[in-house]
Structure 1
Amino acid sequence: MASASEPAAAPQTPTTVTDITGREVTVNLPVRRILLGEGRQLYLLASLEPQNPLASIVAWRNDLIEADPATYAQYLEAYPELAKLPAFPGQENGLIDIESTIVQKPDVVLLNLEAMRANEDAKYIEKLAELKIPVLYIDFRHYPLKNTEPTIRLLGKILGREARAEEIIKFRHQAMARVTDVIARAKPERPKVFIERIGGYTDDCCLSFGAENFGKYVELAGGHNLGSDFLPSTFGQVNPEQVVASNPDHVIVTSANWQAYVPGGHWIPLGPGADPDELQKKLEWFTTRGAYTGIAALKTRNFHGIWHQFYNSPYGFFAVQQMAKWFHPDLFADLDPDATFAEYHRRFLPIPYKPGYAVSLADKD
């Protein structure tokens, strides 16, 4: 019961909403207790609730802590209570911790699309439904151009932040249009681009993207994604000999600080506040990979690194703008992706902007 000095919380109303898979789910709105099936869902939650993004979170998976330590450190500095938030381990496509979920008694559980199969097979959704705990699926990863905006609108609705959700969507539209409108008018020749996915996380070569996610970002930025020629789905692996034969004009490595997973690995520690000199040094190693022997990008030094988490966040507009500058520097001489992302931080996030999300060997020469 609220004290005399505290306003009573708004009453919750059972409301039917539709998640990213088309499931109709009844949720008590506005939600007050959210369990994040992936910690990186904070990227959007904080955009919608910048005054106190932790107010409604009761537990989360520990992936933000491990996969994006620099961003975690920023939020921890701003909100020291984050260290006490219950965290549970797990995999992107794995089961949620159902015991932790039940204990926290959330109003809703947010799961990413790739976890759907595992949780359906284990009947976790039905088990939680029996306890009146609804589950909503969201997606930034598999079909980001299709599903990111519906995901923003869905979270805006359940939080009672519909107007702010539309502001975020409008910002994304405008940031993307600064590239796509120019490409549509100029119709430049499209360079061949190879994306090496999670560079340095494993020694395998060459993990890449098909026609979705970063593959789609390449096309929007005025390039031709080579992975789309060989991979039938969003994620897959291209034979190194095929990469050499395809002779890419640009190689883009998606990477991040993965010290928690691969101590001392070849990953590039991209992210907020990263040291530019260290990024250049770590990117240089990728020019030695056999898959890139003699390719055009090697001769022109068009090797680039970009923050891997753009593949799983509402921030994909930065990746599109940055790649457009790499592919067509003359067309986009006045475009400043860092300024765009800094503006997003000022308008929508409770943490300051720190550059460090991209690096290029071409910039060094």
Structure 2
Amino acid sequence: MPTFPETNVIQSLRRLATATLAMSALGLGLAAPSLGHAEPRTFTDVIGREVTADLPAKRVVLGFYFEDYMAIGGEKAFDHVVGLSREAWVGKVPANWAMHLAHRPSLAEIPDVGEIDAQTFSVEKVLALQPDLVVLADWQYKALGLDAQRIETAGIPVAVVDYNAQTVERHVASTHVLGAVTGEEARADEIAGFYEGALKDVADRIAASGQPKPKVYMEFGNKGPSEPSFTYGKNMWGAMATAAGGDNVAAPFVEWWGVINPEQVLAAQPDAIFISGRENNANPTALAMGQGVGSDQAHETLKAFEGRPGWSGLPAIRDGRLFGVYQGASRTLSDFAMVQFIAKQLYPAAFADVDPVANYLGYYAKYLPVTPQGTFAIGVQK
């Protein structure tokens, strides 16, 4: 892929940011408070619940979406984070955690309240921290069930946000909620407008191409070539493939995420296949992608997927259209770049002037205090 100068990337980011639709301070009908003074405010979270809290919040327990919280609130927002569901960061993207920890060692001092997926989340630890507000992902709130009600019954409001849905609507709404929580409404407006503009640009380019939708198969490559792993329907990579103009072949079989019969992939004859990978793979044959992963390692582990039974006859494999993407760059504001990458592989002429990886790094340069170094999107053909 071509490399564009960083100055052009930042200019592109700023140009897209100016495409923001006119909106109120939050799109929630609220006036922006002074950053130094918290006052009771009522807002609507992404699942339609009215939440009343003292904002900007001074003591926050944060369950997920750590980089999004920092991008929107600025690094100083973590001065007010008094509890983390740490395993949701360390366990899912450990190299990303290490990158942030090297920049901000005080992250290690924030108390851990446990992780919901691992069934270690502790309501008692949350209550002991006496937070003003708990911020949870939609999936976390649903998984906690009555425990979430226990937190609220104790007088601690819970705000729900959702980037997992991978819709522009929920990304934008979540960004405005986090803007209210951190007192950074103007910054939230800018980032939400940028994201909305970036996805609109993708849609406009696809519409102008006049090209029929290519068939796409997405899979989490954590089990390696020998065993199919999760594919995606309506959310995460499935929603991103759809936003990128792909016809997701798993959608008829999987509503959200899950494994489908390998024969269904063969019967669908996908035109392009995207495997998502991460850094912390217990399986040495899993796709390696992300922070600290070299391109040679990523390419080697990706190429092995070509050898799956029956895949040699698929159009995607015959035409060299097997690609690797970074799992950690989904369900986050920076995922616009992964949508761009998928769209560029499906509609190369329409995206000839777009460098998704440079735009991904440009987002970090503008909104986050760290600089990722690794492999975040790659093709099987070097």
- TM (norm. structure 1) is 0.88
Structure 1 residue 26 corresponds to structure 2 residue 26? no
**Higher mean Cα deviation, 201-210 or 324-333?**
201-210
Task: Determine whether 1:248 maps to 2:270.
Answer: yes
Is 1:102 equivalent to 2:124 in the alignment? Answer: no
Report the AA paired with residue 291 of structure 2.
P
Q: In structure 2, what is the Cα distance between the partners aligned to 1:94 and 1:203?
A: 29
Q: What are the equivalent positions in structure 2 for 1:1-365 lying under 5 Å apart?
A: 10-38=36-64, 41-61=65-85, 62-92=87-117, 96-120=121-145, 123-200=146-223, 204-231=227-254, 233-259=255-281, 263-290=282-309, 292-362=311-381, 364=382
Report the Cα distance in structure 1 between the residues aligned to 2:372 and 2:166, rounded to whole angstroms: 27
* Mapped contact 1:243–1:291 kept (Cα < 8 A): no
* Partner secondary structure for residue 59 of structure 1: strand
Q: Distance in 2 between matches of 1:63 and 1:52?
A: 21
The 3 A distance-change label for structure 1 pair 276 and 151 is: same
For 2:148 and 2:199, how far apart are their aligned partners in 1? 36
Aligned equivalents of 2:58, 2:225: Cα separation in 1: 39
Which one-letter code corresponds to 2:353 in the other structure?
Answer: D
Distance of 2:256 and 2:66 partners within structure 1: 23
- SS at 1:27's partner residue? strand
CA distance in 2, matches of 1:36, 1:330: 42
> How far has the Cα of 1:204 moved from its partner?
4.4
In structure 2, relative to structure 1, the CA distance for the partners of 1:282 and 1:34 (3 Å cut) is same
Paired residue type of 1:339: A
The one-letter code matched in structure 2 to 1:183 is: I
Q: Secondary structure at the match of 2:276?
A: strand
More RCO (CA 8 Å, sep 6+): 2
SS of residue matched to 2:134: strand
Is residue 93–residue 114 contact of structure 1 (8 Å, CA) maintained in 2?
no
Q: Distance in 1 between matches of 2:205 and 2:100?
A: 36
Counting aligned pairs with the same residue, the percent is: 27
The letter of the residue matching 1:30 is P
Where does structure 2 lack aligned partners over 5 or more consecutive residues? 1-34
Q: Distance in 2 between matches of 1:203 and 1:91?
A: 29
**Structure-2 change in CA distance of 1:294 and 1:173 (3 Å):** same
4+ residue runs of structure 1 moved beyond 6 angstroms?
none
Runs of at least 5 residues in structure 1 that lack an aligned partner in the other structure: 1-8
Aligned to 2:17: none
Structure 1, 48-57 or 92-101: larger mean CA deviation: 92-101
- Asked if the contact 1:34–1:56 (Cα under 8 Å) also holds between the matched residues in 2, the reply is yes
Give deviations 1:123-164, integer Å, cap 9, x for gaps. 223322232211111111135333111000001012111100
What do the CA deviations read for 1:71-119 (whole angstroms, capped 9, x no partner)?
1121111101112222243234967321210111111111111123332
Q: Which residue of 1 aligns with 2:4?
A: none
TM-score scaled by length of structure 2:
0.85
Query: Secondary structure at 1:35's aligned position in 2?
Result: strand
Aligned letter for 2:66?
A: L
Alpha carbons 1:200, 1:255 under 8 Å: kept: no
**Displacement after TM superposition at 1:317 (Å):** 0.5
What secondary structure is seen at the aligned counterpart in 1 of 2:333? coil
**Count of residues in Structure 1 that have an aligned counterpart in Structure 2:** 348
Matched residue type, 1:329: P
Q: Is the 8 A contact 2:216 2:241 kept in 1?
A: yes
**Aligned-partner residue type, residue 35 of structure 1:** V
CA distance in 2 between counterparts of 1:355 and 1:163 reads: 31
1-structure distance, mates of 2:304, 2:312: 13
